[in-house]
Every structure is written in C-alpha cells, then in structure tokens.
Structure 1
Amino acid sequence: MTASMTAFARRETHQPWGSLSWEIRSVNQRYLEPSFRLPETLRDLEPLVRNELRQALSRGKLDLTLRFYPAEDNAQLEVNAALLDQLITAADQIYNRTPAASLDPLRLLQWPGVMQSKKTDEGEVKKVAMELFHEALADLKAHRQREGVELAKLIEDRLEQINQHLITAQNYLPAALEAWRSNLLEKAQKLQVEVDPARLEQEIVILAQKQDVMEELDRLTTHIKEVYRALKSNQPIGRRLDFLMQEMNREANTLGSKAMSMEMTQVSVDLKVLVEQMREQIQNIE
C-alpha cells in the first residue's frame, strides 16, 4: 500500500505514578532520520525506539518527543549522592588548577541524574513508555497509509490524463505529416518550382523517420504501466517512482523536440506539466 511520509501521532497515558505522552511528527526525507527529545531518566529508551523505527519505516524525517510528569505524591526528589560526590571531586580538581573558579551548588543540582524521583519505579515507567510508543507508532503508520491512498489517487488521475494525451499524439502524427506535405507543395507553387512527386514522397518518408515519436509514446506507455504496478506494491516505492518520473520527463522532452506541429508541441508541454505535478506528490511517498 502506498504510504506518505507526512503524518502526526500523539498518545498519552495517566498512571498512579504520573503521566506519559509520546508525540511523533513525520515529514519527507530521503532517508530515515529520527531525532529525539526524551527526559534524562528515560534517555536509555532511545536505542530501543530507533530499532523499532528501523523495522517499521524506511524513510522520513521524524521528530519524537516523550514527556514524563510524575504525580505529586511521587514528585519528592532525592540527591544521587554517589554521582554528586563524583562531580564535587571533579570540581575540586578543576579548582586546584584554577583557584579563581567557584562551585555553584545550583549548577550541580542541574546536572543530569543528580536529582532523582524518590518513589517512582523507573522500570515500570520505561515499560509503559515503550507500550505507549508502540501505540503512537501504529497511529503514525495508519496516518501515513491514509495519506498515501490519497496521493495514489492523485497520481492515478494524472496518469489517466497522460494516457489521453498519448492517444491525442498518436492521432496528430498522420495529420502533421500531411500538413507538412501540403505546406511543401504550397511553397513550391509559390516559387513556381516543379516538384518531382517521387522526390517529394522520398522526403516525406525521411522526415517521417526523423520525426517518428512512436518509440517515445511506447516508452511512456510502458512507464505508466510500471507506475500503476508500483502503486499496488506493499514495499516502499518513493525512490522507484521518482526514477520513473525522471524517465517520463525525458521522453516528454524528446517528444517536444520532434514535434512537427503546434498540437504536438502542446501535447509535450501538457505531459511535462502532469509529470512535474506527479513528481511533487511523489516527494512525499515513502
């Protein structure tokens, strides 16, 4: 199923020991690039969360925020004496080298891990935090898939328009050759030049070979089929679709360079506009 890289999910829970909330924001990115904002006491959850993300998603820039608010009766703080002693020892070593330095107790208390919740069971908090993350990740994936379905519809609509333009181009080609033939005869008459019919037909054949766009039309038709096939895949398809858009744009450019009439030129322009519209949407597809 086609999945977008743009999505949002939020989950929260309230427990006797406090409340937790996960917030995940996802936007398009060439690779999977998560960034985290976690409470210091829950910082060691980051490797676990990264591993879960790698298994669930392949692309996208993600901002993940975990908030933890201890309950009031669990908000009593105690000093991590062992860590504080280490900090004071390190500060004394610095003071011995720079006597002008002063030790600020408040700065010590702000050091990560010095102040700890007295009653909260960290193991229980981490367990619930991971369960909540799984719920938020499931919501994020569902959001990405819903948006992906809508993006697929937009792309399919433009593929259908491209198909119509290809039919138009095929219909224009014989008329364009005949118009060129008539124009050449008209110029010869104005110049009062006798045209050898055999030579004229030979020139028309040569021109038809040079201006033959059936190869480009066939390749565009093949690319369209491949895009339809990709949209039905259960694998990440964003990069594949982006490559197909590059190829379709190249064929549309070649079609324009071979155009023998304003109608064919307009078909080429319309094709390039539709391909660019699809390419912009595909930038958001995983």
Structure 2
Amino acid sequence: MLQSMTGYGKAFGTFFNKKVTVEMRSLNSKGTDVHLKIPNTYKAYELPIRKMIGNALERGKVECLITEESIEGKAKVSINTDLVVAYYSEMKALANEVGEESKDFLTTIMRMPEVLQAQESEISEEEWQKLKALIEEALKNITTFREEEGQSLITDFSSSINEIERLLQEVPKYEQVRIDIIRERMRKGLEKLTDGVDENRFEQELIYYIEKLDVSEEKTRLQHHLDYFRTTMNASGAMGKKLGFISQEMGREINTLGSKAYHADLQKIVVEMKDYLEKIKEQVLNTL
C-alpha cells in the first residue's frame, strides 16, 4: 500500500512508578534520518531504538521524543556538592577582587549547569521490554497515519494522471491541421524564392519534414508511462522513488510533444499536461 512520508504516532504507558510517553513525527526525506531525544535513563538503548525506527519506517526524517514523568511527583535528583563549592569559592573571590559586598550566591549557583543532576539507574530487562512495546505501538500508529495519507496521495495522483490522459486524447484532432499549416507555410516560403514549384519534389520534402515532427511514438510512450504509473502506485512496498523515475519519463515525452507542436491549441494542451505533471512531482517527493 502506498504511504506518505508525513505521519504522526504516539503511545504512552505506566510502569515502575513513572509515566513514559513515546511521540513520533515524520516528514519527507531522500533517506532515513532519525532524530532521537530520550532521557539519560534509556541512553544505553539508543542504537536499538534507532534500528527499530529505521526498519519500520524505511524513509523519511523522523523525530522521536521519549519522556518519562514520576507518578509520585518527586524527581530523583542529587546536588553536585564539589561543583557547588567550586562555584561558590570562585564567585566569592571575584566579589572580593572587584570590591563588591559578598551576597547569597547559592540562589545563582543552583541555576548553574550540572549543579542538579538526575539520579540515573540501570533499567531492568523488564522495563526495556515495556519501553520497546511502547515504541512498537507508536510506530504502528505512525504507519497507520502514513497509510491514510497514502490513500489521499493515490486519489490526487489518479486525478492528475486521468487529466493528462484526457489531454493526450485531444492531441490527434490537431495533427492534420498542424500538417496543413506546415504545408502552407512551406509553400509560401518557396513561392517567395522561386516562380515555380515542383509539386512532386515539394511533396517529398514535405513528407520528410513531417516525419521528423511525427508524435506517434511520443503519444504511445506517454500512454505507457501513465499506465505504468497507475500500476506502480497501487503496488505494495515503498514506491516513491520509482514513481519519481516514471514521472521524469513522462516529462520527457510531454516536452518532446511541445517541441513538435507547431499549433497554438496543441501548445496549450502541452502546458496543461506540464501543470498536472508538476503536481504529481511535488506529491511524489512526499511518497514513501
């Protein structure tokens, strides 16, 4: 099933007297880019967590935030006494040197970096398994979100593909008119250069010229790419890159049609095709 790279998933649970929340957001990216913010308590499991996210989401810029909150409302912290004493001595010495009256420095010192430290303890295997279950639940939720967004992408893709196909079916009505315009333009040009025109030679040259401007192959290839795009977007797995390649091939055929148009209405059709193709390309960038 087609998925978007945009998603959101959340899970939370309570164990060992604390509430743990896992929150994930993802955006489009060429590869897998995981930004992880977790408590120091779980730092030892950073690599397994990254691996879980990378395997589950495949592509995208993913932000994962894991927080823990004590249910008892009491955080386990300690004061770095050696650091406090060092700060106090330095601040008191500085005050004496500049001639300022000594004040209560403790209020300021307690706000200094690394004075208050959270007490860390190794988590048990049981706690890791519970955290792992929360991460899996959050990944499941974000995947569901991405699948729902993927359905919206399929709807938008189908609409644009159908419009390009409709415009492609309008091309044949201008092909004969375009040949007549080219014939008339060439005849007028020759009449300005010479008094008489060898009709047989003129027709031979005209056929040679028109063959170069034939768009039959471009129409056939473009229709093939449209059909292939439909098949691919309904296939399973990550198809974003493949859809990107197909849209590039569609662009080549549309550009060639434009270069061979030689008719105002046909040029308008090509411009409309390009407009729908740009919409497809923008959405492909957000497709897994």
Counterpart for residue 287 of structure 2: 285
**1:78 CA displacement:** 6.7
Which of residues 206, 209, 212 in structure 2 aligns to 1:207?
209
**Structure 1 stretches lacking a partner, 5+ long:** 93-99
Matched residue, 2:197: 195
Q: What is the aligned partner in structure 2 of residue 62 from structure 1?
A: 62
Query: Which of 260, 263, 278 is equivalent to 1:261?
Result: 263
Identical amino acids, percent of aligned pairs: 26
CA contact (8 A) 1:3 1:147 kept: yes
**Does the CA-based 8 Å contact 2:157-2:280 persist in structure 1?**
yes
Partner residue in 1 for 2:89? none
Q: Distance in 1 between matches of 2:77 and 2:113?
A: 16
What's the CA shift for 1:54? 2.6
Query: What SS does structure 2 have at the residue aligned with 1:23?
Result: strand
Answer with 25-34 or 6-15: which moved more.
Answer: 6-15
Instruction: Quote the offset at 1:182 in angstroms.
Output: 3.7
Unmatched 5+ stretches in structure 2: 87-93, 95-108
Deviation of the 1:264 alpha carbon: 2.0
Task: Tell me, yes or no, if the aligned pair for 2:34 and 2:54 is still in contact at 8 Å.
Answer: no
CA RMSD of aligned residues (A): 3.1
Q: Is 2:53 aligned against 1:53? A: yes
Q: CA 1:195/1:129 → structure 2, altered by over 3 Å: closer, same or farther? A: same
Output the CA distance in 1 between the equivalents of 2:185 and 2:139. Answer: 66
Q: CA deviation at 1:193?
A: 4.1
Instruction: Write the mapping of 1:55-94 to structure 2, written as runs, cut at 5 A.
Output: 55-72=55-72, 75=74, 77=76
Q: Distance in 2 between matches of 1:26 and 1:77?
A: 33
Task: From the superposition, tell whether residues 179 and 220 of structure 1 become closer, same or farther in structure 2 (CA, over 3 Å).
Answer: same
Q: Secondary structure at the match of 1:72?
A: coil
The structure-2 alpha-carbon separation of the partners of 1:182 and 1:40, relative to structure 1 and needing over 3 Å to count, comes to same
Q: Using a 3 Å threshold, how does the CA distance of structure 1 residues 14 and 271 change in structure 2: closer, same or farther?
A: same
Hey, what's the Cα distance between the residues in 1 that align with 2:127 and 2:172?
66
SS in 2 for 1:14: strand
2:251 match: 249
Provide the residue aligned with 1:95 in structure 2: none
CA 1:79/1:187 → structure 2, altered by over 3 Å: closer, same or farther?
Answer: closer
Matched residues in 1 for 2:214 and 2:75: separation?
82
Q: Which residue among 129, 152, 170 is the counterpart of 1:150?
A: 152
Question: What is residue 97 of structure 1 aligned with on the other side?
Answer: none
> What is the CA distance between 1:179 and its match in structure 2?
2.7
Q: Calculate the TM-score normalised by the size of structure 2.
A: 0.81
Q: How far did 1:107 drift?
A: 5.4
Residue correspondences, number: 267
C-alpha spacing 1:163/1:211, structure 2 compared with 1 (3 Å): same
* Residue aligning to 2:38: 38
Q: Deviations over 1:213-271 (max 9, x none)?
A: 11221221121122112112112111111111222112211111111211222222122
**What is the TM-score when the length of structure 1 is the normalising length?**
0.82
1:96 aligns to what? Answer: none
Given candidates 152, 173, 176, the residue that maps to 1:174 is 176
2:115 aligned with 1:115, yes or no? Answer: no
